[in-house]
């Protein structure tokens, strides 16, 4: 007997798996939702650059806000928004990513888009008892829509009111995760995962001391550096720029001995800056000093496999969309690119040491 068919996966079964097993750490939900907001904004910029969007871009900022009374955490963007049909396609179909369609059409902008798996949005349910989406598409005549789901396979989708283009993701934080209603905790996570995202991320207001106490100003508290040193060309940077970036990564550290600026686009994409710290006689090798990013999103500081064991005293940043990650972007998976990147880093360090030795 021979038979072909389709394996059935129901949302009743998949939701508990997403909530418990997809992500190793619940805090990653914020990285995923903010990354989606950045992607939506980057897409709008691309559409504007090719003439598909002719309106005013306005202030392109992703805003993260906490409402402790309502127990909500809201991530808002002024990106492309969604129509009802797009919500049906990209939200109601798990693991169907709008990024893949965008990349097919705009291949030249592939490196500006973070998400690919179509699962990041659902990480919100790890910390929320209900999630709402209020969105208005950039398309002319678009009707604002509101989507709501309490973590079961059932959802509601209805017309709503929203004056401006973009999307608000509203998370109703559950009682087990109230830490994510503390602004300080949220800002800490944004600085950890989103510190170098290419769109400004605002959370709260800048505070300053006045009359012996700390008061809020009207100025947005921007979390991130949208154009970090490693995405610039070496010719655009001075020694002072490299040292300033080093201290941004590692405050209170002594100046490094030297650094290597990585900038490769073939046969793999790799950018970054690696620093050789001052070595003391009683140095204790410190691991987890090199930070791995994927399109400016922090992934991990465990880079075994990419950086050889004997170079673990290096500090700095590596950014590559070609390093294979697991579906939750939490850790590395081995493939031929990892070996090539490791060999390239080793050669660059060896070349730099030889250059120093000869001078």
32 within domain boundaries: yes
165 against 305, higher pLDDT: 165
- Claim to verify: residue 326 and residue 350 sit in the same structural domain: yes
Pairing of β 270-276 and β 258-264: antiparallel
Listed residues 173, 198, 222: the one ending a domain: 222
Listed residues 222, 252, 267: the one ending a domain: 222
Tell me: pLDDT of 212 over 60: yes
**Distance between CA atoms of residues 317 and 208, nearest Å:** 31
82 within domain boundaries: yes
The CATH number covering residue 174 comes to 3.30.565.10
**Distance between CA atoms of residues 46 and 255, nearest Å:** 39
8-state DSSP, 107: G
- Claim to verify: residue 95 and residue 192 sit in the same structural domain: yes
Which pLDDT does position 174 carry in this prediction? 94
- Claim to verify: residue 312 and residue 209 sit in the same structural domain: no
Which tens digit of pLDDT belongs to each residue from 42-83?
999 999 999 999 999 999 999 999 999 999 999 999 999 999
Number of independent structural domains in the chain: 2
52 within domain boundaries: yes
Which pLDDT does position 39 carry in this prediction? 92
185 within domain boundaries: yes
Listed residues 222, 252, 273: the one ending a domain: 222
192 within domain boundaries: yes
- Claim to verify: residue 278 and residue 212 sit in the same structural domain: no
Predicted TM-score of the model (pTM): 0.84
3 within domain boundaries: no
Which tens digit of pLDDT belongs to each residue from 273-312?
999 888 664 454 554 488 989 889 898 888 777 888 788 7
Tell me: pLDDT of 194 over 50: yes
Which pLDDT does position 113 carry in this prediction? 43
CB 151 within 8 A of CB 125: yes
CB 140 within 8 A of CB 65: no
- Claim to verify: residue 122 and residue 145 sit in the same structural domain: yes
- Claim to verify: residue 262 and residue 347 sit in the same structural domain: yes
- Claim to verify: residue 218 and residue 305 sit in the same structural domain: no
- Claim to verify: residue 217 and residue 233 sit in the same structural domain: no
- Claim to verify: residue 75 and residue 121 sit in the same structural domain: yes
- Claim to verify: residue 138 and residue 282 sit in the same structural domain: no
Q: Which domain holds residue 30?
A: 11-222
6 within domain boundaries: no
- Claim to verify: residue 106 and residue 129 sit in the same structural domain: yes
The CATH number covering residue 282 comes to 3.30.230.80
258 within domain boundaries: yes
Percent of the chain with pLDDT over 70: 80
Which pLDDT does position 243 carry in this prediction? 95
Which tens digit of pLDDT belongs to each residue from 8-44?
555 566 666 666 666 668 898 999 999 999 999 999 9
- Claim to verify: residue 194 and residue 235 sit in the same structural domain: no
8-state DSSP, 225: -
Q: Which residues contact 68 (CB under 8 A, 6 or more apart)?
A: 181
**Distance between CA atoms of residues 199 and 265, nearest Å:** 23
Which pLDDT does position 233 carry in this prediction? 93
DSSP string across 107-163: GGGGGG----SS-GGGGGGGTEEEEEEEEE-SSTTPPPEEEEE-SSS-EEEEE----
8-state DSSP, 282: T
Which pLDDT does position 287 carry in this prediction? 45
Name the burial class of residue 233, with classes exposed (0-12), middle (13-18) and buried (19+) by CB atoms within 10 angstroms of its CB: exposed
């Amino acid at each position: 007997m021979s038979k072909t068919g389709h394996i059935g996966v129901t949302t009743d079964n998949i939701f508990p798996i997403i909530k418990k097993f997809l992500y190793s750490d619940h805090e990653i939900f914020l990285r995923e939702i903010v990354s989606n907001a950045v992607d939506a904004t980057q897409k709008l910029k691309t559409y504007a650059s090719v003439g598909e969007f002719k309106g005013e871009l306005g202030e392109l900022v992703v805003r993260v806000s906490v409402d402790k009374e309502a127990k909500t955490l809201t991530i808002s963007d002024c990106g492309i928004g969604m129509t009802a049909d797009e919500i049906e396609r990209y939200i109601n179909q798990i693991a169907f990513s709008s990024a893949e369609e965008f990349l097919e059409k705009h291949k030249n902008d592939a490196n500006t888009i973070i998400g690919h798996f179509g699962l990041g949005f659902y990480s919100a349910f790890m910390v929320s008892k209900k999630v709402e989406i209020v969105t208005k598409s950039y398309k002319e005549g678009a009707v604002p829509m509101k989507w709501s789901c309490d973590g079961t396979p059932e959802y509601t989708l209805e017309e709503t009111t929203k004056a401006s283009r973009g999307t608000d993701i509203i998370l109703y934080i559950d009682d087990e995760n109230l830490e994510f209603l503390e602004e300080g905790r949220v800002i800490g996570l944004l600085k950890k995962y989103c510190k170098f995202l290419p769109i400004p991320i605002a959370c709260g207001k800048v505070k300053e001391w006045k009359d012996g106490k700390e008061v809020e100003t009207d100025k947005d508290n921007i979390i991130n550096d949208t154009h970090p040193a490693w995405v610039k060309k070496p010719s655009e940077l001075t020694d002072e720029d490299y040292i300033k970036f080093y201290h941004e990564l590692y405050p209170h550290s002594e100046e490094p001995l030297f650094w290597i600026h990585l900038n490769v686009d073939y046969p793999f994409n790799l950018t970054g800056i690696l620093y050789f710290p001052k070595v003391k006689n009683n140095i204790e090798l410190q691991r987890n000093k090199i930070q791995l990013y994927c399109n400016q999103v922090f992934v991990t500081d465990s880079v075994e496999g990419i950086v050889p064991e004997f170079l673990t005293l290096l500090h700095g940043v590596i950014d590559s969309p070609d390093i294979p990650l697991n579906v939750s972007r939490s850790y590395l998976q081995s493939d031929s690119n990892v070996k090539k990147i490791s060999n390239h880093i080793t050669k660059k360090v060896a070349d730099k040491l030889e250059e120093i030795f000869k001078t």
